[in-house]
Amino acid sequence: MNNLVIVCQSAGFLMADIANEALRKYDDVVLLTSGCKSMERPLSSSVKIDYIAQYDRSSTGKRVLSWLKATFQVLHKILWHYRNYEVYYFSNPPTSYFCTLLLRNKFRIAIWDLYPDGLMTINISDKSVVSRIWAWCDRKAFNKAERVVTIAESMKQQMTKYCPAEHIAIAPLWSGSSQFRPMEKEENTFVKENGLEGKFIVLYSGNIGWSHDVDVLVEVANVLKDVNDIVFLIIGDGKKKNIIAQMINDYGLTNVMMLPFQPVEKLPYSLASADLGVVTLDEKVARVAIPSKTFNLMAVGAPILAIANKETEMYRMLTRYGNGCCIPKQKIEGIASFICKLKDDKELLLQYRNNSLRAMDNHTYKNAEIYFK
C-alpha cells in the first residue's frame, strides 16, 4: 500500500485541492486537521479526516499553545497509527515538521509561512535562542525531506539559508473557485442590494485583525471624503473591527461601508464588485508572503493595491504581471492619488484588469500537481 498523511491544522480550499490530487498518487490519504473549509471543489469523501487541535488566533500565547498541542497530537498519531505512511507536513502549524527529528517516516514539507522568520510578528528576534533553535530544526528537517515546496521565488531565496535551492520547488497559489470571474456591475446583484451603482469600489475583504492595516483605508477615505463617486467597502470581521468602525464615526465618513463576511454563495458577487482590490501585509513578514485572497481578487479581474513596501514578493508579483501597485502604509496621500488616477484613467484600469486575468493562467488549481512531482 502507498499511503499518505497530510498535516495541516487549518485547511481551506487549497488543501482540499491538494488532498484530492494526492488521491491520484496514493492508495490511502489521511488529513490531520482541525477542519477543512472547501469551496467549489469539495474535499473528496475518499480523504479520511483525523482531527487535531484547532488553530487559536485570539492571542499570541494561545496561538503558540495551539501549535504545540497540534504538533504533539501529530507526533502521537503518526507514531501509533500511521507509522508506515509517508507524511506531507504543511507549515500549519509551523512546528509540525519538528516531528521529523523523531520519526522515521518518509516525508515532504510545504512552506506557506516561513519560520523562524515569521516569529518577528510576535516580537521574537531572529537573534533569540528560540529563533536559533528553530533555524537549526529547519536545516535538519529541510535537508532530510524528500522535497520542499514553497509558494514564491522570494520565499525560495529566503529558504536557501536552510537548504540548497535545487531542493526547493515552487508551486504558485491559486483561486478557490471558477465562479470567481469578471461581472458587469449592471448584472451584479450584490452591487444593487447595497446601493453601489455608479461608484468606484475600493474593496477590502478578509480578516480585520491586529496585523491587517485596514485603518490605512479609513485614513485614505478621509483624504478622499469629498470625492463623491469613490466608496471604500470593507467586508470582514476581527479584533480590529470596532476600532475601524470608531474611526469611521470619528471622521464622520459617508464614503466607507462596512459589511460582515458574506455567505459563500455571495462571494463571487462581492469580489466581482471591486474596481480595485486591497491586500494588506504585515511589514515584518511581507517579504515572504502573498495572501491567498490576492488570487481570488485577480480571478474577478480586479487590479491590486498592496499596502506594503517594495521589498516584498507582492511588489515583485505586481511588477511582473503589471496588474497593480505596491504602496507603503505611511504614504496615505500616495495611495489616495493612485486610487484617483485609476478611477479617472479608464485605459489604465482596463489594462490592469486584463493583466490580472492573464496572470491567472499561472495560478490554477492544477498547480496542486506540483506538490507530488
Average pLDDT of adjacent 10-residue blocks, the chain of 373 residues:
93 95 97 92 96 88 93 97 97 95 96 84 76 95 97 90 96 92 95 96 91 91 97 94 96 97 93 97 64 93 94 89 95 98 97 97 95 95
- Regarding whether 336 and 305 lie in a shared domain, the answer is yes
- Regarding whether 255 and 202 lie in a shared domain, the answer is yes
What are the CA-CA distances from residue 51 to residues 39, 66, 93, 108 (Å)? Answer: 20, 13, 13, 20
pLDDT given at position 154: 83
What are the CA-CA distances from residue 298 to residues 220, 276, 328, 342, 352 (Å)? Answer: 22, 10, 21, 16, 10
pLDDT given at position 323: 97
**Cell 500500500 sits on residue:** 1
- Regarding whether 230 and 109 lie in a shared domain, the answer is no
CATH value at residue 57: 3.40.50.2000
Which of 109, 143, 171 finishes a domain?
171
- Regarding whether 317 and 273 lie in a shared domain, the answer is yes
- Regarding whether 335 and 191 lie in a shared domain, the answer is yes
- Regarding whether 273 and 164 lie in a shared domain, the answer is no
- Regarding whether 231 and 103 lie in a shared domain, the answer is no
8: in domain = yes
pLDDT given at position 284: 56
Exposure string of 240-258, with b = 16+ CB inside 10 Å and e = fewer, is: bbeebeebbeeeebebbbb
13: in domain = yes
Number of domains into which the chain is organized: 2
- Regarding whether 24 and 49 lie in a shared domain, the answer is yes
- Regarding whether 155 and 24 lie in a shared domain, the answer is yes
- Regarding whether 111 and 18 lie in a shared domain, the answer is yes
Exposure string of 336-348, with b = 16+ CB inside 10 Å and e = fewer, is: bebbeebbeeeee
- Regarding whether 336 and 226 lie in a shared domain, the answer is yes
- Regarding whether 48 and 145 lie in a shared domain, the answer is yes
pLDDT given at position 19: 98
CB 258 within 8 A of CB 237: no
Q: Which domain holds residue 81?
A: 3-171
Which of 126, 147, 171 finishes a domain?
171
pLDDT given at position 113: 87
